[in-house]
Structure 1
Amino acid sequence: MANAYTEDSIKTLSPLEHIRLRPGMYIGRLGNGSNAEDGIYVLLKETIDNSIDEYTMGHGKKIEIELNDRTLRVRDYGRGIPLGKLIDCVSIINTGAKYDSETFQKSVGLNGVGQKAVNALSISFRAQAIREGDTKIVEFTQGKITKDNKVAKTAERNGTIIEFTPDEALFGKDFKFRNEFIEEMLWNYAYLNRGLTLTFNGKAYKSENGLKDLLTKKLTGEPLYAMAHLEAEDIEVAITHGAHYGEEYYSFVNGQHTTMGGTHLAAFREAFVATIRNFFKKEYDAADIRQSIIAAVSVRVQEPVFESQTKTKLGSTDLGPKGPTIRQFIGGFLQQHLDNWLHRNPEAADAMKRKIEDSERERKELSGIRNLARERAKKASLHNRKLRDCRVHLDGKDKRAEDSSLFIVEGDSAAGSLTSCRDVQTQAVFALKGKPLNTFGLTKKVIYENEEFHLLQSALNIEDGMDGLRYNKVIIATDADVDGMHIRLLLLSFILQFFPELITQGHLFILETPLFRVRNKKETRYCYSEAEKQAALMKLGQSAEITRFKGLGEVSPAEFKDFIGENMRAEKVTLDRLHDVEGLLTFYMGKNTPDRQDFIIGNLRVEKDLVEA
């Protein structure tokens, strides 16, 4: 019988209780640190953001970050939080200086929430403010104050020191910070704040050329022309074209990396097309103009409105309460500065024009093949059950749109297991017939000539760009054997060549499935590595039954449900550390078999090595 709905059913939570009960509203996902968007990195970002705001206002040119196991320490040399308000600023929600637009005109964090969330979600939190020879220290546990020291004298320089350890009760016992994710975050701060030095465990991060340095680091090959690097008050852009397919953007607002874009990125894409059309006096197709572009855009907006506390997508339409719209501002900037740059750099303008016309030519050449492929796909779809679709898609209005996922599996057996236990609202399944074609060195024509690739492209709805993408997560789910790894490589090769934005925009994942099941009469454990298997045996006893899963088809639907639900292990595929995609694909997917064989032999590790390691 349902509980009675009375006055006693109504609960009022304190801000601290609400943050701990609903952390996702404040930091997005929780996670264990294996993904750059996991909450532990948001806690660090929220802390650094406050130090960045001090630098932006002209106070302190250095920020020091130290990581010791799971404890982070952030030290800036700004003005320091006013000592009498130190407790309020780190523990009472909606408290801060950023409501005063005279003090923080274009701040990253405006809601007075960030540092309080860090405090509430940490098992230990320590804040120290230093101002003009005086200092005050306060300490908390899970957001509750445990020590309030009196103001004391000090010889230290002005600034604020925040030290915190995320609470494993929320983030899990196995959470861990990954240095590469922190380093990527610090590089972005450096690119956007020239003159600022950030250090991480003693290593310095500093940029002299801003977004130009960012694009130089991100380029996976030689650009087609010298980079356009343009700046004015409240805006900076860097633009070039490469030889890859797709569009690649890095967008920022007030120093915050808006990984999901927003109104400023939409305005930039539109203004870039308009400026190029006007310069060349020709109505080129927008897709041809933007094909192979790689660009970074950073804007400063007064009192920005983001679509969530994690600030990954800008929702503001105006530059400020009394300013122009973001669309007008970016449009006017590009029309003046990019147009001038093109006139001053005729060789770059000619290279851009050739690239646009090459894209136009390829698009027209593909049109006939595309029409044939569409007709074939229509006929195939009447009998083809390779796609088991879901009901909620990324391009829809449903509140669960960001949960939409497409699992790419090998064969009908694995597809059957996954399909029978998936969430039909948000999880779709696409079954491959076997090993897909090696597309290395082939042109985009192969997508239309190969039925399987064309059906996959149609399922994703990315033929005309990423705007129509139907799933937020595209998850490669192949067997944990040699054939499964080969299929994974073939799919990665295909995506890297023709749809790299699936990777650069954070949509592509690799599903991790258990290698072993260890169980006794009382308990069952699933293990993803030899080490986990040994740990399970220690816990359940050496006589426990061990099952080795060779393929996904061997996993029963009842078991599979555990691996694709809340506890799903999915590793995001990134390009952060790939500086030469063409070179990598040439080595791993090209016709240099002897070189690969030598590499494999030279890097083999036998069981004995693994145990000793």
Structure 2
Amino acid sequence: MAEAIYTEDSIKSLDWKEHIRLRPGMYIGKLGDGSSPDDGIYVLVKEIIDNSIDEHMMGHGRTIDVKVTDHRVTVRDYGRGIPLGKVVDCVSKINTGGKYDSGAFQKSVGLNGVGTKAVNALSKYFKVQSYRDGETKVAEFERGEVSNDAKVQKAEGRNGTQIIFEPDDTVFKNYHFIPEYLDNLMWNYAYLNAGLTIVLNGKKYHSENGLKDLLTRKADVENIRYPIIHLKGEDIEVAITHANQYGEEYYSFVNGQYTTQGGTHLAAFREAVVKTVREFYGKTFDAADVRSAIIGAIAVRVQEPVFESQTKTKLGSQSVGPDGPTMRTFVNDFVKTELDNYLHRDSATAEALLKRIQQSERERKEIAGIKKLANERAKKANLHNKKLRDCRIHFNDKKGDETIKDETMIFITEGDSASGSITKSRNVQTQAVFSLRGKPFNCFGHTKKVVYENEEFNLLQHALNIEDGLEGLRYRKIVIATDADVDGMHIRLLLLTYFLQFFPELVRNNHIFILDTPLFRVRNKKETIYCYSEEERRNAIAKLGNKPEITRFKGLGEISPNEFAAFIGDDIRLDPVILQKDTSIIDLLTFYMGKNTPDRQQFIIDKLRVEKDLVEEVKEIVEEVA
């Protein structure tokens, strides 16, 4: 093999936009298609809104207007507006911005001067307009290139900045905004900036009580064990309660940034709660018993935060200010003082908290024996040869590329044929397969003991490595891959019941997905089109014309491994499982998975399709094919 020639011509200099477009992961993390809340298109939205939030934090502007359509985002704030002479520079020159002057932007969300420039470079259309004191300046770009640099003009309108952008569909392929993810994003902004009003597509988001409002929205308030404890200090705010659920549930923020992967502030918070509770009651409770069923939130503000990645999802080793204490000491001291004072003042809450801890202790001891036996059985089962075809890279690996680890997923399949097709066509680096023997047990209404007594559930738990929480989760995405028939849907419901009942944090943290596979294959001699809906099938027939061959896939096992590779590769379609903000898990599972009730019977009757309608649909399909 000839040696590559290394000369002056081998050295290339990229301008700012070329570098961002060539290495977008360095600036916005992963790309994605919008099916995950941390996909690139949401990072673009955040980067623009963050600038408006920073203006609000500095005391300029109490309202932010946001409009999101299928492929266009508009953000208008009423802050000071970008200085008119620097409008183009602020959105197109790296390391240009006002946030390097720490006096102007203390404890800002974005300190690197890159965010808006990344959005510009990764948008097929980008427009910035600043209003200042009766004048305005407009500039437009296409993929980072200036297409219109208008002169300053007289204009009416309140001071502030408006940004419009359309993500580049050659970078973000098949992208779509999921309303629930945008809804959560706006609520988080509102909770962390009490008094601010955000208007998204006409809906107002406003909070007066900060993290207390967040927990009120996230928790099932009818089932919490005591009123939400809400504590505020300088540069720190926490909220805590306990519910009747399994696992732990946390929401952590740094300078208004939702740190989905936690970090030093969350680790310190979890540690401080246990330490304070032990000292208050004078008992050495097991840490797991104190934190079981907890729902907590923490928000801190620090100067020059150190994050572990460009997308700021995990806070690194951090001090509070240049000469301040470590984050661990800062959080510990605050929680120890304020939570201890609260429990001394409110004896009813202290008593309710003690009862919840004692309940967790009893439950843990009740299953200790069966848990030990189940774990021994799991080791003997030799996971790698029996149920699990593992991949080589895992989400919890201590080393490795974060972007690649974020692509890790496990397919939960039914039957040998479907498992075989996926196993043969998967990416062995990042995609694992777990095979179900048949229909899982309906675990609704049972205690966690059933997870250890049921071999299949226990093996799945071990494959995911979630027995002691999500810290060790081995796959970023857990993908339920079942047939779209009645049996497949039933298995899907049984698995969702298992996750919602015992590991709700997997759903709340957006780890559960449904694999979307094609219903039809429409092809002629020149082209093959896979269709995921009736509408796509009609469009494919219209495009190919002249009586194309139409195949209706009845199950995953019917799809050959060669074909399957296209459905679980770069163009994979995943439907995220999302809990609505007003959804009670207990009510949801009781209705769908509990004993038959008149309400559910009526629901089924209302959803039944009349045979005549089905016959008409079949006739229509036949006529189109003919």
- Note closer, same or farther for the CA distance 1:114–1:333 as it changes in structure 2 (3 Å cut): same
Conserved in 2, the CA contact under 8 Å of 1:218 and 1:576?
Answer: no
> What does residue 410 of structure 1 align with?
414
**Is 1:278 matched up with 2:279?**
yes
Q: Which of 522, 526, 529 pairs up with 1:518? A: 522
- Give the stretch that moved more between structures: 469-478 or 323-332: 469-478
- Choose which of 497, 503, 509 in structure 1 pairs with 2:501: 497
Correspondence for 1:590 = 594
Separation (CA, whole Å) in 1 of partners of 2:546 and 2:322: 68
Q: In structure 2, what residue type is equivalent to 1:596?
A: R
Shifted more, 184-193 versus 576-585: the winner is: 576-585
1:219, 1:579 within 8 Å by CA — same for their partners in 2? no
1:26-65 equivalent positions in 2, closer than 5 A: 26-65=27-66
SS of 1:130's partner is: strand
Deviation of 1:367 after TM superposition, in Å, equals 0.9
Residue in 2 aligned with 1:12?
13
The answer as to 2:548 corresponding to 1:547 is: no
Query: 1:384–1:598: structure 2 CA closer, same or farther, 3 Å change rule?
Result: farther
Q: In structure 2, what is the equivalent of residue 567 of structure 1?
A: 571
Q: 1-side partners of 2:113 and 2:168: how far apart?
A: 21
Verify: 1:238 aligned to 2:213, yes or no. no
CA distance in 2, matches of 1:66, 1:141: 20
Distance apart, 1:572 and its partner CA: 1.9
Report how far residue 410 of structure 1 moved. 0.6
Stretch of structure 1 that moved more, 63-72 or 278-287: 63-72
The answer as to 2:215 corresponding to 1:215 is yes
Would you say 1:92 and 2:89 are equivalent positions? no
TM-score (norm 2): 0.94
CA–CA separation in structure 1 for the residues paired with 2:228 and 2:282: 22
CA deviation map 1:344-397 (0-9, x unaligned): 111111111111111111111111111222233333338961111222222222
SS at match of 2:406: helix
For the residues of structure 1 that align with 2:436 and 2:69, how far apart are their CA atoms?
A: 45
Q: Give yes or no for the alignment of 1:311 onto 2:315.
A: no
Q: Is the 8 A contact 1:218 1:579 kept in 2?
A: no
List per-residue Cα deviations over 1:67-110 (Å, max 9, x = no partner). 35532221111111111111110111111111111111100011
Residues 116-515 of structure 1: pairs in structure 2 closer than 5 A: 116-172=117-173, 174-220=174-220, 221-381=222-382, 385-396=386-397, 397-399=399-401, 400-515=404-519
- Corresponding residue for 1:529? 533
In structure 1, distance between residues paired with 2:327 and 2:190: 24
How much is the aligned-residue C-alpha RMSD, in angstroms? 2.0
In the aligned structure 2, how far is the partner of 1:112 from the partner of 1:609? Answer: 56
SS in 1 for 2:381: helix
Q: Distance in 1 between matches of 2:151 and 2:384?
A: 76
Contact 2:190 2:197 in 1 (8 A): yes
Displacement of 1:593 in angstroms is: 5.0
- Give the residue type in structure 2 aligned to 1:171: F
Q: Distance in 2 between matches of 1:67 and 1:420?
A: 40
Q: Hey, what's the Cα distance between the residues in 2 that align with 1:320 and 1:382? A: 48
Q: What amino acid does structure 1 have at the position aligned with 2:407?
A: D
Deviates more, 1:2-11 or 1:248-257: 2-11
Q: 2:384, 2:390 within 8 Å by CA — same for their partners in 1?
A: no
Instruction: Indicate the residue corresponding to 2:583 in structure 1.
Output: 579
SS in structure 2 at match of 1:403:
coil
Distance in 1 separating the partners of 2:141 and 2:483: 46
In terms of mean alpha carbon deviation, does 398-407 or 365-374 score higher? 398-407
CA distance in 1, matches of 2:82, 2:498: 52
Bigger Cα displacement from structure 2, 4-13 vs 576-585? 4-13
**Using the alignment, how far apart are the partners of 2:142 and 2:490 within structure 1?**
48
CA contact (8 A) 2:383 2:459 kept: no
- What is the one-letter code of the residue matched to 1:340? N
Amino acid at match of 1:230: L
User: C-alpha offsets along residues 124-174 of structure 1, whole Å, 9 cap, x if unaligned?
Assistant: 2111112222221111111111222222223322111111222223223x5
Distance 1:510 1:578 in 2: 22
Secondary structure of residue in 1 paired with 2:382 = helix
Q: 1:382 to 1:181 in 2, by over 3 A?
A: closer
Report Cα offsets for 1:106-128 as digits up to 9, x if no partner.
00011111101111122221111
Q: Which amino acid aligns with 1:525?
A: I
User: Aligned partner of 2:400: which letter?
Assistant: D
1:603 to 603, 607, 615: 607
Q: Deviations over 1:521-570 (max 9, x none)?
A: 22222111111112112222252222222111111111111111111111
SS of the residue corresponding to residue 171 of structure 2 reads: helix
C-alpha distance in 2 between matches for 1:298 and 1:161: 28
Aligned to 2:624: none
Give distance in 1, aligned partners of 2:350 and 2:248.
19
TM-score (norm 1): 0.96
C-alpha distance 70-391 of structure 1, shift in aligned 2 (>3 A): closer
Equivalent residue of 2:320, what SS?
coil
CA deviation profile, 1:167-223 (whole Å, cap 9, x unmatched): 223223x53333332222111111110111111233221111111111111113521
